[in-house]
Structure 1
Amino acid sequence: MVPRIGDYVIVSCESAAARVVGIDRYITLEWPWGAIDNSSNFRWNGQVALPHGEAHEEWSPFRLDPAPSTLHVGDVCAVFIPPTRLYVGHYEEYQPPRNLGWAPAPTAGLYVVPPERMDVDMEYAGYMLYLGGSDPIRVEPLND
């Protein structure tokens, strides 16, 4: 399935354990998927920062268990995407796979927006998911 702008899809990602390495406006995790690609000119440090808190203008489909408000640096939590209905704001394929500093490199990018955030500035409304790399993200068509 190749998502088109305007489609609705169900996105999910299996749970994995991640260690908290920083908490401020974002909660930073040692990302449980992928590996640092030392041959890349891009220097990914193996971490991902996710927005958290009700007042944060940015959004992410990733969820943590336990909740971010209870976590401290050094804690281990589960990171996952529960099956979620999302709007496709953008889709692009990468040929060759996109060099972002991690391996395996993703073969596509999918910008998703929750329906309740459609009135928010698109820069902050959604989240870019990278597909075909290491993150076990699943995208299914929604048959409404």
Structure 2
Amino acid sequence: MVTVERSITIDRPGNEVIAYLADFGNTPEWDPGTESCDRIDRGPVAVGATWLNVSRFRGRRTQLMYTLERYDSDRLVFVGRNKTVTATDDMTLRPLNGRTVLLYRAELRFNGAARLAAPFLRTAFERLADEVEERLPQVLAAKTQEI
């Protein structure tokens, strides 16, 4: 298993941040590894909503089916699955003087033979988390009333 965590301060109020992050289809804007993330069901974004996420990691393309498993006013949990990995993105928001602190935790549980590679992938996942930490506040700062 590989776990990465970041604390990211965002110059937006929590209600705007949670609304933006709850739509996992926005992921290509802030996650440099994500090529596309398309909603595959209909209706409002709520627990049970699903997206097909296509990412590139270390030169390989992978697809995961993500489900929104928790949606609170201050916390989101998405779980993505394929035959190789189960990825959990756990996002908790805390207010800070009109800004928001996002506690972002990504956990990857590898299946089968892929478990053997997990220790060797940590550095690459840490770099990706660093890029998310840099990019997400910039993307949200550029957003206007569209959120």
- TM-score normalised over the length of structure 2: 0.28
- TM-score normalised over the length of structure 1: 0.29
Higher helix share: 2
